[in-house]
Amino acid sequence: MDIKERNEKIELYGRGFDLLKAALAQVPQEAMKFKPEPKEWSVHEIIIHLADSESNSALRARKLIVEPGGTLMGYDQDQWAIQLNYHEQSLEDALEILRLARKSTYELLKRQPDEVFTHSIVHPEMNEPYTFEKWISIYSKHIPGHIEQIKNNVKLWKENKK
C-alpha cells in the first residue's frame, strides 16, 4: 500500500464514528434489538461489539507502534456477545467508548512517521505476520461493514413488521 492509499484509509477510519452516527439516526428505536436470525446480531449488539472491537483495535495499533514483533491477544467476538450479555449493556456508554477510542487512535495514526507503518506483530489467529497495513485495511472498513449490516437489519425488521 502506498502512502496515498494508506492516508485515504486512515481518513476513512477517522470518519467511521460520524458515519455510524448518521446511520443510527435512521434506525427506529423499536428495531434496535431485532435479530434477523437467532445467531445474528441486533443493531444494539453490533454497537456493543464495535465498542469492544474498537477498544481491542486501539490497543493493537499501540502495540504495532511500540512493540513490533510482539504478540496480540485474540478474542472470540461471538462469545463476548453472549457471555457479556450485550443486550444488557448501555448503548450510550458503548458509543462514547467507541468515539473516544476511534478519535484518540486516529489522532495517534496521523502523527506516526512512515517507518512505523512497516511494523508487524504476531496475531494468534493468523499464520502470517499481522502488519500495520493489514490493521489499517481491516479497521478502516470495520464500521462501514457494520453499517451495511445495520441497514440490512432495519430492512428485515420492516419486512418482518408487515
Contact predicate 31/155, CB 8 Å: no
Which residues partner with 120 through β-bridges? 131
Residues 88-93, mean pLDDT to the nearest whole number? 96
- pLDDT reading at 152 higher than 80: yes
Residues 32-51, mean pLDDT to the nearest whole number? 95
Residue 65 in any domain: the answer is yes
What is the number of domains present in the chain? 1
Residues 15-31, mean pLDDT to the nearest whole number? 97
What was the pLDDT predicted at 74? 87
Residue 161 in any domain: the answer is no
What was the pLDDT predicted at 73? 87
CATH number of the domain within which 18 lies: 1.20.120.450
CA distance 65 to 45: 30
10 Å Cβ neighbour count for 114?
Answer: 8
Q: Which domain holds residue 16?
A: 3-156
